[in-house]
Amino acid sequence: MNAVRALLALPVAAFLLAGCGFHLQGNGSLPDGARKVCVITADEVTPFAVELRRAIERAGGELTGTTAQAEMVVRIRRDRSGRRVLSVSARNTPQEYEIFYSVEYSVDRGGREVLEPQPLEMIRNLSFDETQLLAKDREEVVIRDSMAKDLAMLVTRRLESL
């Protein structure tokens, strides 16, 4: 009897989920007329610039080499990352760092600026242990790359909404 109820409950649950509009979040897509994108930046190989290009391609965009071919131009005005000391030990050695990644971008479409310069910044804390120097250096790189990917996804979602 319980097995029959379970079998009946499964289609009912699926029907209710479908009826409420629930769906898994997937990759979005860039709007029509804005799929050819040119990314202009001072440094082409920063983690953010690389991740932004990947995110645009995942969203169905095509990267162009020049602004003349592009339907939308993303200008990365600032792309920097670093770390600041948050706390030190009694021996004056760092115990905790603040890792930050800061970008500023604007968007042109059809020769005019449709999105004025937008600043974005992510901050994460990193505990530090000098006995694990190599591991902590690698952890910092992983955190920085993760923040670059998250920022690129935020920018791409904004482009999808234009």
Which is it for strands 36-40 and 72-88: parallel, antiparallel or unpaired? parallel
* Inside any domain, residue 12: no
d(CA 107, CA 38): 10
Q: What is the pLDDT of residue 94?
A: 87
* Inside any domain, residue 20: no
Q: What is the pLDDT of residue 21?
A: 59
Q: What is the pLDDT of residue 105?
A: 97
* Inside any domain, residue 68: yes
**Domain extent for 95:** 28-161
* Inside any domain, residue 136: yes
* Inside any domain, residue 35: yes
Q: What is the pLDDT along the chain (162 residues), one digit of tens a residue?
A: 666 666 666 666 666 656 665 545 555 688 777 889 999 999 999 999 999 999 999 999 999 989 899 999 999 999 999 999 999 888 888 889 999 999 999 999 988 999 999 999 999 999 888 788 888 889 999 999 999 999 999 999 999 988
* Domain CATH for 41: 3.30.160.150
The number of distinct structural domains making up the chain is: 1
pTM listed for this prediction: 0.78
CB 99 within 8 A of CB 126: yes
* Inside any domain, residue 13: no
